[in-house]
């Protein structure tokens, strides 16, 4: 092994056997371009001439093994190879022989690369800064899986490195921007919570079944049929959503129904989006007005039973959507409105998204320290 340390190399992906593995190299990349270069690109280009963020196919070592190299910065690149333990160990061993300090733990950040001379601007590399590969297991849809894969494949790790290389003010700006995406990140592994509420017999159960595309709630002409919460999980525009059909809100002396109403009010307070269901064929009641006056953080008002003759209203919400669960009219528009209400703006590709509670707490702590 050479006596001079040119940089560090570490495994980004989780330890153990897998289909592929990614190794990040940071430091003096000129150590690669010697007569017996570790990586030989198919196009013959030396590493120093690689374009940033471009993929280069080639072989590693002798005998050669197929790998892909992507230069991610002036002094950094990522190697994607077979995920077997032996293959990863070989690449790290070869890099160690060229003067790169190696760390094979897929979740341990390299303190040497992140420490700065000024202790006040040093990035804390505690567990909160890491995004484990296991978050992929929490993906419920292809859309969320693709975003999570982008994060664990280097986007989040590059963000941590960027923080280490930034001044205090710049780092705080980057952290603040990342924290605005925390709620979105949490829901990549935890469904958004949508609650249907309204007085009895306005058609909440029928609407839930229409949104889900199958029968989940019992539909009856008798008011108060749903006394307990009925929940299902579905996907709307690729986003995982948990829809809850709640007990109808009304004044009642029945202790079971009163408990159902209490649970409904609690569910409204906890929801990411509340759908207030009104019966367009009837005049608004005192219960309807009380529900509208609660003003949840995010809400959609539904003028349901739009297939029936509408009642004359002196006061009808301007933002209401006409929907019929019987004919299906308005359902498509409602689905689009739900999606845009839950995710007003999708983060751009390459933007760091904190996913776990530990990441959010780490960013908040780091912001105060810096």
Could you check whether 1-106 and 192-342 share the same CATH topology? no
41 φ, ψ to 5°?
Answer: -70, 145
To the nearest whole percent, how much of the chain has pLDDT over 90? 30
**Predicted confidence (pLDDT) per residue in 322-359, tens digit:** 999 999 999 999 999 999 999 999 999 999 999 999 99
CATH number, domain 1-106? 3.30.1360.120
Cβ–Cβ < 8 Å for 194, 273? yes
Least confident of 113-117, 128-132, 193-197, 216-220: 113-117
Taking the C-alpha atoms of residue 298 and residue 337, their distance in angstroms, rounded to an integer, is 11
Least confident of 61-70, 160-169, 259-268: 259-268
Cβ–Cβ < 8 Å for 323, 334? yes
Q: What is the mean pLDDT of the chain?
A: 80
- Nearest-Å Rg of the Cα atoms of the chain is 27
pLDDT at 332: 94
CA distance readout (Å), 30 to 78, 103, 367:
15, 20, 35
> 168-179 and 357-369 are packed helices; what angle lies between their axes, rounded to 10 degrees?
150
**Predicted confidence (pLDDT) per residue in 215-262, tens digit:** 554 443 444 444 456 888 999 999 999 999 886 655 555 665 666 666
Residue 33 pLDDT exceeds 80: no
Minimal CA–CA distance to 355: which of 159, 161, 148, 160?
148
Strands 192-197 and 239-245: parallel
**Predicted confidence (pLDDT) per residue in 188-225, tens digit:** 999 999 999 888 889 998 999 898 875 554 443 444 44
Taking the C-alpha atoms of residue 363 and residue 164, their distance in angstroms, rounded to an integer, is 13
Beta bridge mates, 275:
196, 300
Overall fold of domain 192-342:
Rossmann fold (3.40.50)
Residue 121 pLDDT exceeds 50: no
**Predicted confidence (pLDDT) per residue in 155-169, tens digit:** 898 898 888 888 778
Q: How far is CA 62 from the centre of its chain?
A: 41
Contacts of residue 190, defined as CB under 8 A and 6 or more positions apart, other chains included, come to 138
Domains of the chain, by residue range, sit at 1-106, 110-181+349-370, 192-342
Q: What is the DSSP string of 168-212?
A: HHHHHHHHHHHHTTHHHHHTTTS-EEEEEE-STTSSHHHHHHHHH
pLDDT at 122: 45
Q: Rounded mean pLDDT of 26-49?
A: 78
């Amino acid at each position: 092994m050479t006596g001079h340390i040119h940089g560090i190399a570490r495994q980004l992906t989780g330890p153990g056997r897998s289909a592929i593995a990614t190794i990040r190299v940071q430091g003096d990349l000129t150590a690669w371009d010697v007569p017996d270069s570790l990586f030989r690109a198919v196009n013959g280009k030396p590493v120093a001439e690689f374009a940033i963020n471009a993929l280069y196919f080639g072989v590693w070592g002798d005998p050669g093994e197929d790998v892909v190299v992507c230069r991610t910065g002036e002094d950094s690149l990522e190697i994607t190879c077979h995920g077997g333990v032996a293959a990863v160990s070989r690449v790290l061993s070869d890099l160690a022989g060229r003067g790169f300090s190696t760390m094979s733990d897929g979740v341990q950040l390299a303190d040497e690369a992140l420490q700065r001379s000024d202790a006040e601007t040093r990035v804390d590399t505690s567990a909160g800064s890491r995004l484990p590969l296991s978050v992929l297991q929490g993906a419920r849809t292809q859309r969320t899986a693709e975003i999570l894969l982008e994060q664990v494949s280097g986007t989040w790790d590059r963000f941590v490195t960027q923080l280490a290389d930034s001044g205090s003010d710049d780092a705080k700006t980057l952290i603040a921007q990342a924290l605005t995406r925390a709620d979105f990140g949490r829901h990549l592994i935890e469904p958004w919570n949508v609650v249907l509420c309204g007085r009895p017999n306005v058609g909440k159960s029928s609407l839930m079944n229409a949104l889900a595309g199958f029968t989940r709630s019992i539909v009856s002409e008798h008011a108060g049929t749903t006394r307990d919460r009925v929940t299902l999980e579905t996907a709307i525009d690729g986003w995982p959503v948990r829809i809850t059909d709640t007990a109808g809100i009304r004044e009642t002396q029945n202790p079971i129904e009163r408990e159902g109403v209490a649970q409904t009010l609690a569910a409204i307070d906890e929801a990411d989006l509340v759908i207030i269901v009104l019966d367009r064929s009837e005049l608004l009641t005192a219960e309807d007005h009380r529900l509208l006056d609660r003003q949840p953080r995010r809400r959609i008002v539904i003028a349901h039973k739009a297939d029936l003759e509408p009642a004359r209203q002196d006061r009808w919400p301007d933002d209401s959507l006409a929907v019929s669960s019987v004919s299906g009219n308005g359902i498509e528009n409602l689905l689009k409105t739900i999606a845009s209400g839950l995710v007003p703006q999708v983060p751009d590709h390459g933007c760091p998204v904190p996913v776990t509670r530990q990441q959010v707490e780490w960013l908040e702590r780091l912001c105060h320290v810096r």
